[in-house]
Structure 1
């Protein structure tokens, strides 16, 4: 039997080798990322030589990782500001609703010229535009999840950090982040899945009448589909499955197993989650190395961040002054909104007329019906399944990897084959697009419900068994109320994701076959192809109105209900 020191030494070697491999790959990829654009410009397609697939896959994974890092930073800053400031929350959360409703083509149309101008003559401009597009498909649901975790922190823990007089910086790392870790990791997984879903749109970028194709597995699929090469599309799908499985083994399984220590429960999990990678890391001395490197930095940051005060130590203005300040803030925000709406309507009236706006709203209502039907059906299917997976470690051990692989796989990679099926069976794309939208967005509900069910304290579950409650009563009194808030978060992001997915689900093509559904997604896609900026703007505004309206009228009351009646605190 191998002795403990030998195990530690072997684990150290594996960890060091892994770190060196990551840095080596990054160092190998960086020169090509910032390569100068040649005299012929960037190509509009990529080679479909199968020997390039491994390199394309690494480029795509690299973009996804960079976008995820920026998304995590954005999540912490934006979510904390919205949760800790009542005034900022009034603006930031509705703004987040709008941001998640803007499709990726809307962000690209508005920003790609800026990125190209920032990095002239270099592929870095197109890379930055692509990474930003992936960021816009990742950040919003992570931010919603973190914000909800901040609002639902257990009261006794909040009182503990106040009594300990921790600084706001210390509170962030000792309570805010640990309390949000389980749902945040699940939403990070979902964000990566969303990034894969829009990979083709983010790697083949249109500016005016020019197309820029970056080396990547998404652009490979786009080119192979346009050239009607199903065999090469199938090879890309196999490569994508391998990527998803490797990322699951090396990243997500270790993270979900590690996050179990943040569960709020009096009893340990009956069957703790395991990960071979996490076991190797724990057997190594990497924690000591990191502590040695980061402790001086941590101590320095603790001292610097004291200027922001301690938790709960804030000066409270008189009630009359607070009301006056709130009124001034609301009036200022309202004036800005009214001025922006006036300018927008004036531009529409001058350039296209309000008839075009009415036509777009009609198409938006059709897409709204698709999103509504999709949300209802996916909730009925995935809420009970997600709760069962999240509450049962034995089931979770086998189901979670499968769920992670399915959710991370870019469903639009199989759209060419589904398009062939629709054409062969004469399936109306107006109905078929609902299936295509669901393939990429149903996982938001499932992931959030799994995370919510995983956070149910084991002692509460054991109590329901000891009390002899029937299965139905256990679900009615504990399980469904416990996952209600998570379902709301998943529903918001699933609905927002479905609206975004409409741009790639309402117009699908394979070779010379193109199927177009009636809807605002198809409207935006066609306007982008025609380089009609005003129509793109109208489509984005209409989509934002529907998403924000649904959130204000439906999801916000449900969020309030989850906070007041169904929070585990």
Structure 2
């Protein structure tokens, strides 16, 4: 006879969900409601040459505008992450693909946001006829192009410097390519990727104004958002509206830090590649709340079987690659054929480019663009040297000292995320009243957007140095320059190179908005390639847009090939843990 058992009074009194679950459910509902409210504004009808309703400078509209801009930023970040994982993996795993993808990444990184907008706005509008989604997609794509290159370089470099003993262990255990990717490669790259994603997100704010107040090919399109609000405030010389916008962006940055980045940093600490735990792990009140709730674990249990099925399926599609001896003669012949084909392609592109230049702008304009590029190159080099000397020691100190990190990380995140071009109007007023030439002032403006790449990568590199190595260095009495030479420089070198190459690309990109600044009817223009491209883009001068972007690409790719790529090779062969 079956006996029926009843739950105890204690079990009956135990609630299935706690206060943490209630808070999470309410927070999720509020977030979904906000996304629905803000996203509804992207679905209105729009047919060029119609004009999108102008931005209203009443501060009451700022929360809505901030929501529109923030939603674009997160959609661009999601797309950037997908691109990073796919592109970086292919470039790191396929030697032939790497020869094309990495130089292509150099070129794409060097193309300014305005260059992408010039090409893509019309295409996106045609892709979504009769809807504002076309302009929204163009804006998101512009933000994507300001975020993605830094993340991709970081992930690629992390895959190239996976610790050899872990790589050997993966081979011994016959892990499939999918298992290696999820169990070894992504976890080993997680800390650097996360810090670079934070930097990329902050860098995206730098180009929000350009992506929302679009002026290309003699046509102007304006989307509601913080960037277009600031552009309108600058055009009308409205300091009050500009002040309200700065206050709102401060609130947005603090909220994103507390609700998004801080929990991710605390969660990613488990991916540190070391045998001993960190002295003090990063903390997040939101992550503690999620861990205290029961709902996330219940949802995870429901989806665990599905995840296992997906993992088994993907593992079966990506079996372990067999270890076989490569025929060196065949490899050399194949490489020569590949190099010949690549040279033919490059030669054809150069001939086509030269023909285009000669029949449109002429050779004199080419020399002018080359000279302007040298001026911008000088500013970039000054910025890189100054940023490395100032921010590398600070980044190492933050990465090594948990108490200092807890104190300064919010400050650093705020400074990096704050869109520097939002304070350009104040800088412009200062330059005008102090009689400072924009040729020198533009270096400061460029640094406001580019220097953080070096700082964030220095922090990530210092945090990735195992605690046991740092303790051993202290035990043997390493300090001062000897500590830097024996531990810190080798430990952070790979990350610093990633920061340097992305800071270089970011500085070239930032020159577009730093070499020509305005306040109302007053415009200051520096002598440089960035101002040349900005003026050509505003005028819709396609030949000069193409020449300027092509010349900037040549400078960036040349610098990367002659300098940064050699440092990458040094990091892969000598200076990595």
TM normalised by structure 1 equals 0.96
Counterpart pick for 2:405 among 380, 396, 400? 396
Distance 1:8 1:367 in 2: 59
Residue 138 of structure 1 corresponds to which residue in structure 2? Answer: 147
Instruction: State the Cα distance separating 1:15 from its structure 2 match.
Output: 1.7
Any idea what SS the aligned residue of 1:234 has? Answer: helix
Q: 1:500 to 1:447 in 2, by over 3 A?
A: same
Instruction: State the Cα distance separating 1:16 from its structure 2 match.
Output: 1.8
Residue 284 of structure 1 corresponds to which residue in structure 2? Answer: 293
Distance 1:539 1:39 in 2: 28
May I ask how many residue pairs the two structures share in their alignment? 566
- Residue deviations 1:316-360, cap 9 Å, x none? 653333223222222222222211221111111101111111100
Contact 2:46 2:52 in 1 (8 A): no
* Residues 1:516 and 2:525 aligned together: yes
Instruction: State the Cα distance separating 1:307 from its structure 2 match.
Output: 4.7
Q: 1:8 to 1:334 in 2, by over 3 A?
A: farther
Structure 2 residues without counterparts, runs of 5 or longer: 1-10
Q: 1:271 to 1:307 in 2, by over 3 A?
A: closer
Distance 2:48 2:457 in 1: 49
Counterpart pick for 2:367 among 358, 373, 395? 358
- Residue deviations 1:142-191, cap 9 Å, x none? 00000011011111211222222221111111111111110111001100
Contact 1:44 1:204 in 2 (8 A): no
Distance 2:482 2:566 in 1: 25
Instruction: State the Cα distance separating 1:553 from its structure 2 match.
Output: 0.8
* Residues 1:452 and 2:461 aligned together: yes
Counterpart pick for 1:376 among 367, 373, 385? 385
Residue 31 of structure 1 corresponds to which residue in structure 2? Answer: 40
Residue 53 of structure 1 corresponds to which residue in structure 2? Answer: 62
Of 467-476 and 220-229, the range deviating more from structure 2: 467-476
Residue 411 of structure 1 corresponds to which residue in structure 2? Answer: 420
Residue 329 of structure 2 corresponds to which residue in structure 1? Answer: 320
* Residues 1:222 and 2:231 aligned together: yes
Contact 1:167 1:306 in 2 (8 A): yes
* Residues 1:165 and 2:174 aligned together: yes
Mapping of 1:457-468 within 5 angstroms?
457-468=466-477
Distance 1:519 1:87 in 2: 36
Distance 2:355 2:322 in 1: 47
Counterpart pick for 2:280 among 255, 260, 271? 271
Q: 1:38 to 1:47 in 2, by over 3 A?
A: farther
Residue 158 of structure 2 corresponds to which residue in structure 1? Answer: 149
Mapping of 1:474-489 within 5 angstroms?
474-489=483-498
Q: 1:427 to 1:45 in 2, by over 3 A?
A: farther
Any idea what SS the aligned residue of 1:509 has? Answer: strand
Instruction: State the Cα distance separating 1:40 from its structure 2 match.
Output: 7.5
Any idea what SS the aligned residue of 1:427 has? Answer: coil
Contact 1:182 1:259 in 2 (8 A): yes
- Residue deviations 1:451-491, cap 9 Å, x none? 00001111111111111223332122111221111111100
* Residues 1:537 and 2:546 aligned together: yes
Residue 3 of structure 2 corresponds to which residue in structure 1? Answer: none
Of 284-293 and 69-78, the range deviating more from structure 2: 284-293
Contact 1:44 1:210 in 2 (8 A): no
Distance 2:163 2:320 in 1: 15
Instruction: State the Cα distance separating 1:42 from its structure 2 match.
Output: 2.5
Of 487-496 and 286-295, the range deviating more from structure 2: 286-295
Residue 430 of structure 1 corresponds to which residue in structure 2? Answer: 439
- Residue deviations 1:233-266, cap 9 Å, x none? 0110010000000000001111111111111122
* Residues 1:551 and 2:566 aligned together: no
Contact 1:7 1:283 in 2 (8 A): no
* Residues 1:209 and 2:210 aligned together: no
Of 294-303 and 310-319, the range deviating more from structure 2: 310-319
- Residue deviations 1:509-541, cap 9 Å, x none? 010110000000000000011100110110101
Mapping of 1:101-112 within 5 angstroms?
101-112=110-121
Contact 1:8 1:283 in 2 (8 A): no
Any idea what SS the aligned residue of 2:221 has? Answer: strand
Structure 1 residues without counterparts, runs of 5 or longer: none
Contact 1:45 1:219 in 2 (8 A): no
Distance 1:39 1:490 in 2: 41
Contact 2:76 2:144 in 1 (8 A): yes
Counterpart pick for 2:24 among 15, 20, 25? 15
TM normalised by structure 2 equals 0.95
Mapping of 1:250-261 within 5 angstroms?
250-261=259-270
Distance 1:286 1:384 in 2: 43
* Residues 1:471 and 2:480 aligned together: yes
